[in-house]
Amino acid sequence: MKVPFTTQTHQSPNAKVRTTSFNEPKSVLDLVRCSSPSPAVNKPTPKSEVSALSESLFQSDDGSLHSEDQILNNLEDWDSLMRELGLHDDSARIPQFNHLDSQLLPEFPPSHSVVPTDFSLSSDQFHNHNFNSVALCNDFHHMNNDDFHFVDDLIRAADCFESNELQLAGVILERLNHQLPSPTGKALQRAAFYFKEALLSLLTGSTRSTRSSEVVQAIKAYKNFANVSPIIMFSTFTANQAILEAVDGSMLIHVVDFDIGFGGQWASFMREVADRAESRRVNSPSLRITAVVPEEYGIESRLIRDNLNQFACDLKIGFEIEFVLVQTFEFLSFKAIRFINGEKTAVLLSPSIFQRIGAGFLNDLRQISPHVVVLVDAEGMNDSGTPSFRRSVIDGLEFYSTVMESLEAASVGGGDDWIRRIEIFLLRPKIFAAVEAARRRAPSWREAFAAAGLRAVVLSQFADFQAECLLSEVQVRGFDVAKRQAEMVLCWQQRALVATSAWRC
Amino acid sequence: MFSAIGSGVGVHGDFQGLDGPHLAGDPCLVLTTDPKPRLRWTAELHERFVDAVTQLGGPDKATPKTIMRTMAVKGLTLYHLKSHLQKYRLGKQSCKDLPDNSKDASCLAESQDTDSSASSSSKIAQDLNDGYHVTEALRVQMEVQRRLHDQLEVQRRLQLRIEAQGKYLQSILEKACKVLNDQAAATAGLEAAREELSELAIKASNDSNGLVPVDALKVPSISELAVSLENKNPSNLPARFGDCSIDSCLTSNGSLVSPMGVASQAAAMKKRPRPLFGNGDSVPLEWMITNSG
């Protein structure tokens, strides 16, 4: 699982005021950019909750881990922030909204027996949203009746997005703000919180770009994650093995990586390549990586380049890394990437690229004749078809609460601080990206692969043994590896977490 | 011992090796006496088999069907031939690594065949049968050993891979922290400069008619910064900046992390003073900013 792309819209320096006016439906459709009407320099301006979270959490950063108290204090700030957003401050809200709000609220009683007449449910297989929430909640047998509410509301909010009733969505989300004020409680609740945040950000269009302090925190969280959970190692090592087998023997290896994360995968790849060359007493091949990255990946890209260069230098293998922007790739497809004759090419994909730019580029794959195309699906992409927004939210909720549960199982008691950090810095961005992609009805990669004529390659026995070995090392019980057709799937309590597969054109 | 076996003779694995009674006739098939009649590959039969295979161009080219036709032995089925051919092929493979021994073995086999008395042929068959058992067992054991060896190899490689990834993550974390600290230090320097400038601004505004009460706006927070700078604790600086509710370049998103480093921060700084220094003294001050940044 890699650190994902953060959401794209750039926030101008003055961006602290959120001016959403729900009583004017048309205006809600516009993504609210941060135009502060006056340079309200002195008074603490109501910040958008996304940037507020980042500020409250990251400002006091000195490169070392927060104490648990600090994190909790920051989480308590949620309350005040939420109140700020929920209530009406003078500048942002127009009094009319009050009237509207009170009109609508009584129509959503907790027993959800009343369905407003203008509320159109999506044409999904679940026609009764009551049934839907029960079905979801039955998966989590530890839940009691009280927990149903926020899931239900979340689904309802998702429905509103689908039917473009953004005003209604806003109202529901506001209610959810009170039910889910902070990422605490059980895994499902925390996941629901982040999904609520993601839905809210759809409305407000707010985002934040990464800053160095955040990158440090994210790397730290990633490192912890890799240490306690087999998810990362399973993904990277299975993919590496598939690539190694395909390009073995070549002196020039070129990898196109669409989800490079922090680059840790290539360090172990290089190590493997160097060791093989040494044992065969031949010269080490040279490795070239082209990483397709989002625009706001500047800091990470620099760090990755420096560190991978250093690593390669230490191992004495030829190395080069290039970064290509996603936007460029979107326009030019594989023409945006340099290919050299005589190289063996491997392509490493993850659903995030399909989420961003669709799957059209797969048709161009044949032209670059890769020796292998490896796909690591750590987003919980279920089977075929482009699901409805509601379906995506439900599936996503289930998937990420599974991930969080699997993390919790590794907790040895004492601070759960590190879990929260992993959730905030690694999972949260993915949830945001997933919600956004679902909104855009991004295609399912399986269908796209089938349409592009890719054929699955069975993974080798080495990969099998490696996965078994990995799991035996992991302290946590509950993980297992299953083989689904040509995929290797890491599961937590029989629920799929990561599916890795190798393909050929 | 194994080289003799490796001379390429195989037999049905479940063969009992009993000395059952021969049925009369030649060419004929010898069947065992156990409840399930199985074919006994006598030396004679085997020789016919080898001849046929050689005729057809070797064990890889020959197929059970063609061998059956070539051998023309009554009662011989495809089933018998399939398994016998497979064993023969495998035997041929392992035989490739022992060229000298196989020659001896085939000579031995040939010389034994030429004697061709009933007792000797059955004895050879017996030996061969025993040998085949051992081959089977050996093969199975080799499989198990290979598997274990592979698993150990995988474990070893996995350890190395984990180690490499861990080492890399550690180093990238350290570098990221360093970058962060460098930036904090750079901003500290900038903030010091800014402080000086604001003091100048205060002086300037005091000199002028004091149209904009600049001191009322900014001084408290900047003196806070000054205090923090005096404490000479650079790592705490970001915290300080966060506490100030001013929208300085440090709390805003883009400017601190610009790849151009200090230069862009100076450029960003350039924008900042405008709200502060609203009166006409802004020009020389900006000039001073760029010079000190």
Looking up residue B88, the CATH number of its domain turns out to be 1.10.10.60
**A193, A23, A29: which is closest to A92 by C-alpha?**
A23
Does residue B89 belong to any structural domain of this protein?
Answer: yes
User: Domain locations in chain A?
Assistant: 133-211+387-427, 230-385+440-504
Closest CA of chain A from B247, distance in Å: 7
**Which chain A residues are within 8 Å of B238, Cβ to Cβ?**
59-62, 213
Q: Which of A1, A55, A57, A60 to mutate to test the interface with B (most CBs of B within 10 A)?
A: A60
Is it the case that residue A221 has pLDDT exceeding 90? yes
| Mean local confidence (pLDDT), B212-239 | 46
**Which chain B residues are within 8 Å of A264, Cβ to Cβ?**
165, 168-169, 172
**Terminal-to-terminal C-alpha distance of chain A:** 25
Nearest to B238 among A61, A210, A310 (CB): A61
A51, A206 Cβ separation under 8 angstroms: yes
Does residue B122 belong to any structural domain of this protein?
Answer: no
- Tell me the pLDDT tens digit for each residue of B236-259: 333 333 333 333 333 333 333 333
Q: pLDDT band for B206, please (50, 70, 90 cuts).
A: confident
Is it the case that residue B88 has pLDDT exceeding 90? no
- Predicted pLDDT of residue B148: 93
Q: pLDDT band for A455, please (50, 70, 90 cuts).
A: very high
Residue A441 CB-half CA count within 13 A: 6
Is it the case that residue A499 has pLDDT exceeding 80? yes
Which of the residue ranges A77-81, A237-241, B71-75, B253-257 would you say has the lowest mean pLDDT?
B253-257
- Tell me the pLDDT tens digit for each residue of A272-298: 999 999 988 888 889 999 999 998 899
Q: What DSSP string describes A322-384?
A: EEEEHHHHHHHGGGGS---TT-EEEEEE-HHHHHHH-SGGGGGHHHH--SEEEEEE-S---SS
- Bridge-based pairing of strands A319-325 and A286-293 is parallel
Nearest to A41 among B175, B246, B256 (CB): B246
- Predicted pLDDT of residue A111: 42
**Which chain B residues are within 8 Å of A275, Cβ to Cβ?**
157, 160
Encoding tokens for residue B226?
Answer: 């000054």
Alpha-carbon distance A432 to A207, whole Å? Answer: 10
| Mean local confidence (pLDDT), B65-73 | 87
- Tell me the pLDDT tens digit for each residue of B98-137: 444 444 444 444 444 444 555 667 777 777 777 788 888 9
Q: Mean pLDDT over all residues of chain A?
A: 76
Is it the case that residue A29 has pLDDT exceeding 60? no
pTM of the model: 0.58
Nearest to B161 among A60, A222, A272 (CB): A272
Does residue B90 belong to any structural domain of this protein?
Answer: yes
Nearest to A223 among B155, B169, B177 (CB): B169
Let me know how long chain A is: 505
Alpha-carbon distance B264 to B260, whole Å? Answer: 6
**A176, A195, A175, A193: which is closest to A185 by C-alpha?**
A193
- Predicted pLDDT of residue A146: 59
- Predicted pLDDT of residue A450: 87
Nearest to B235 among A62, A212, A270 (CB): A62
- From B183, which residue of chain A is nearest by alpha-carbon distance? A212
pLDDT, greater one: A311 or A379: A311
**A107, A112, A122, A127: which is closest to A163 by C-alpha?**
A122
- Predicted pLDDT of residue B277: 36
User: What SS3 state is found at A319?
Assistant: strand
Dihedral sign (CA B250, B256, B261, B266): negative
Which of the residue ranges A218-227, A236-245, B67-76 would you say has the lowest mean pLDDT?
B67-76
**Count of C-beta atoms within a 10 Å radius of residue B157:** 22
**A26, A29, A136, A49: which is closest to A390 by C-alpha?**
A136
Does residue B211 belong to any structural domain of this protein?
Answer: no
- From A36, which residue of chain B is nearest by alpha-carbon distance? B247
- Tell me the pLDDT tens digit for each residue of B179-197: 888 888 888 888 888 888 8
**Which chain A residues are within 8 Å of B150, Cβ to Cβ?**
461-462, 465
- From B276, which residue of chain A is nearest by alpha-carbon distance? A41
Q: pLDDT band for A205, please (50, 70, 90 cuts).
A: confident
- Tell me the pLDDT tens digit for each residue of A361-385: 998 998 899 999 999 999 887 666 6
- Predicted pLDDT of residue A431: 92
Which of the residue ranges A76-80, A208-212, A242-246, B170-174 would you say has the lowest mean pLDDT?
A76-80
Alpha-carbon distance A234 to A492, whole Å? Answer: 13
**Terminal-to-terminal C-alpha distance of chain B:** 87
**B231, B238, B243: which is closest to B185 by C-alpha?**
B238
> Counting Cβ atoms within 10 Å, is residue A362 exposed (0-12), middle (13-18) or buried (19+)?
buried
> Counting Cβ atoms within 10 Å, is residue A120 exposed (0-12), middle (13-18) or buried (19+)?
middle
Nearest to B165 among A226, A298, A473 (CB): A226
Does residue B280 belong to any structural domain of this protein?
Answer: no
**Which chain B residues are within 8 Å of A59, Cβ to Cβ?**
238-239, 241-243, 251
- From B155, which residue of chain A is nearest by alpha-carbon distance? A469
| Mean local confidence (pLDDT), A98-125 | 41
pLDDT, greater one: B127 or B45: B45
Alpha-carbon distance B42 to B28, whole Å? Answer: 10
Q: Which of A11, A212, A237, A289 to mutate to test the interface with B (most CBs of B within 10 A)?
A: A212
- Tell me the pLDDT tens digit for each residue of A474-494: 878 889 999 988 899 999 999
Task: Flag if B259 and A302 touch (Cβ within 8 Å).
Answer: yes
Q: Nearest-5° angle of CA B23, CA B24, CA B27?
A: 95
- Predicted pLDDT of residue A296: 86
> Counting Cβ atoms within 10 Å, is residue B288 exposed (0-12), middle (13-18) or buried (19+)?
middle
**Which chain B residues are within 8 Å of A41, Cβ to Cβ?**
217, 246-247, 275
Percent of chain A topping pLDDT 70: 68
pLDDT, greater one: B131 or B223: B131
Nearest to B275 among A41, A60, A240 (CB): A41
Domain range for B72: 38-94
Residue A55 CA, chain-centre distance (Å), reads 21
User: What ipTM did this prediction achieve?
Assistant: 0.71
- From B218, which residue of chain A is nearest by alpha-carbon distance? A42
Counted domains in chain B = 1
Closest CA of chain B from A277, distance in Å: 14
Encoding tokens for residue A168?
Answer: 């209604």
Does residue B77 belong to any structural domain of this protein?
Answer: yes
**Which chain A residues are within 8 Å of B177, Cβ to Cβ?**
63, 216
Encoding tokens for residue B256?
Answer: 């601190």
Percent of chain A topping pLDDT 90: 38
B98, B6 Cβ separation under 8 angstroms: yes
Is it the case that residue A471 has pLDDT exceeding 60? yes
Q: Which of B146, B165, B251, B272 to mutate to test the interface with A (most CBs of A within 10 A)?
A: B165
Task: Flag if B173 and A220 touch (Cβ within 8 Å).
Answer: yes
pLDDT, greater one: B27 or B112: B27
Is it the case that residue A329 has pLDDT exceeding 80? yes
Task: Flag if B169 and A219 touch (Cβ within 8 Å).
Answer: yes
Q: pLDDT band for A28, please (50, 70, 90 cuts).
A: very low
Q: Mean pLDDT over all residues of chain B?
A: 65
Does residue B248 belong to any structural domain of this protein?
Answer: no
CATH of span A230-385+440-504: 3.40.50.150
